[in-house]
């Protein structure tokens, strides 16, 4: 059995059937946390903003937060804040690298490297991904959270 990432599952098996039925759900007080499956949604021209608007239209959910993480780095997820950025926790860090593997400056796009203190049973504490991203800043996000905050490029 193939398991679909949460984001595409919500889109295909929750949002679409609800929209097609013409019914709505009263979930205004709910919070939704989702991640993964974006490549399939981009094929349908659905980005994070459209995903959130669509869910709000059928069930009133306004608190919808994306997360970024990899199964290869168990325990590390980077949660989206109210300002739309992903944040490192106190147990994780991010470095964005150029193609020559030197470290990018804040605001410069490059290859994402994830670091975590959590993995101990396997060598997963540093993962160089295939994803491109950009570190926006550190300790000055408009949401008030401290630490590095970043975006993953679509």
**Lowest-confidence range among 32-46, 47-61, 127-141?**
32-46
Claim to verify: residue 90 and residue 112 sit in the same structural domain: yes
The residue from 69, 96, 118 where one domain ends is 69
| Cα(78)–Cα(54) distance, integer angstroms | 23
Claim to verify: residue 103 and residue 90 sit in the same structural domain: yes
Domain that holds residue 15: 1-69
The H-assigned helical ranges of 27-131 are 38-43, 48-59
Claim to verify: residue 29 and residue 2 sit in the same structural domain: yes
The secondary structure element, H or E, covering residue 65 is strand 63-69
pLDDT for res 3 = 59
pLDDT digits (tens, 9 = 90+) for 41-91: 888 889 999 999 999 999 999 999 999 988 888 778 999 999 999 999 999
Claim to verify: residue 48 and residue 79 sit in the same structural domain: no
For the chain, what is the domain count? 2
Claim to verify: residue 3 and residue 78 sit in the same structural domain: no
pLDDT digits (tens, 9 = 90+) for 82-112: 999 999 999 999 999 999 999 999 999 999 9
Nearest to 61 by CA among 107, 30, 91: 30
Query: What's the first-to-final CA gap in the chain, in angstroms?
Result: 28
Judging by beta carbons within 10 Å of its beta carbon (0-12, 13-18, 19+), is residue 139 exposed, middle or buried? exposed
Claim to verify: residue 55 and residue 84 sit in the same structural domain: no
Claim to verify: residue 53 and residue 102 sit in the same structural domain: no
118 in Cβ contact with 74 (< 8 Å): yes
């Amino acid at each position: 059995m193939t398991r679909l990432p949460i984001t595409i599952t919500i889109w295909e098996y929750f949002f679409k059937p609800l929209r097609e039925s013409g019914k709505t759900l009263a979930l205004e007080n709910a919070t939704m946390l989702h991640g993964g499956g974006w490549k399939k949604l981009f094929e349908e021209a659905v980005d994070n903003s459209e995903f959130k608007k669509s869910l709000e239209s059928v069930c009133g959910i306004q608190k919808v937060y994306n997360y970024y993480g990899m199964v290869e780095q168990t325990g590390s997820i980077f949660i989206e804040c109210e300002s739309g950025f992903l944040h490192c926790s106190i147990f994780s860090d991010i470095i964005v690298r150029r193609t020559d593997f030197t470290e990018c400056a804040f605001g410069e796009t490059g290859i994402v490297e994830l670091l975590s203190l959590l993995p101990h049973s396997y060598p997963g504490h540093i993962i160089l991904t295939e994803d491109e991203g950009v570190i926006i800043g550190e300790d000055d996000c408009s949401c008030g959270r401290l630490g590095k905050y970043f975006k993953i490029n679509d």
